[in-house]
Amino acid sequence: MKKTVLVVLLACALPTVCWSQRLRKTEFESGMIEKGNKIGVWEYYAYTRDGRQVTVQKYDHTAKKLVFYRPVEDIMYDVQLKPGEWSRSRVDQPPLFIGGDPALATYTTKLIYPPAAQDRKIQGKVLVSFAIDTLGQATGHKVVMGVGGGCDEEAMRVCRTIPNQWIPARKDGRAVPVVYELPFTFRLQAVAQ
Quick: pLDDT tens for 72-95: 677 889 999 889 899 999 999 999
Q: What are the angstrom distances between the C-alpha of 114 and each of 110, 118, 119, 150?
A: 12, 6, 9, 6
Cβ–Cβ under 8 Å, residues 32 and 22: yes
pLDDT of residue 17: 38
Mean pLDDT within 145-173: 96
Determine the residue type at 192: A
Mean pLDDT, all residues of the chain: 87
The model's confidence at residue 11, banded by pLDDT at 50, 70 and 90, is very low
For residue 50, the model assigns a pLDDT of: 79
pLDDT digits (tens, 9 = 90+) for 111-157: 999 999 999 999 999 999 999 999 999 999 999 999 999 999 999 99
Look at residue 49 and tell me whether its pLDDT is greater than 80.
Answer: no
88 DSSP 8-state letter: E
Taking 90 as the threshold, does the pLDDT of residue 22 lie above it? Answer: yes
Domains and CATH numbers, the chain: 20-70 (no CATH), 72-192 (3.30.1150)
What's residue 6's pLDDT?
Answer: 37
Task: Summarize the confidence of residues 42-64 as an average pLDDT.
Answer: 89
Q: Which pLDDT belongs to residue 191?
A: 56
Of 95, 175, 82, nearest in space to 130 by CA: 95
Residues listed for the chain: 193
Mean per-residue pLDDT, 155-184: 96
pTM: 0.76
- Sheet with 85-90: strands ordered across: 85-90, 76-82, 178-186, 124-132, 138-145
Give the pairing type, strands 174-176 and 169-171: antiparallel
pLDDT value at residue 5: 39
Per-residue pLDDT at 37 exceeds 90: yes
Arithmetic mean of pLDDT, 103-116: 93
Pick from 12-16, 38-42, 56-60: least confident: 12-16
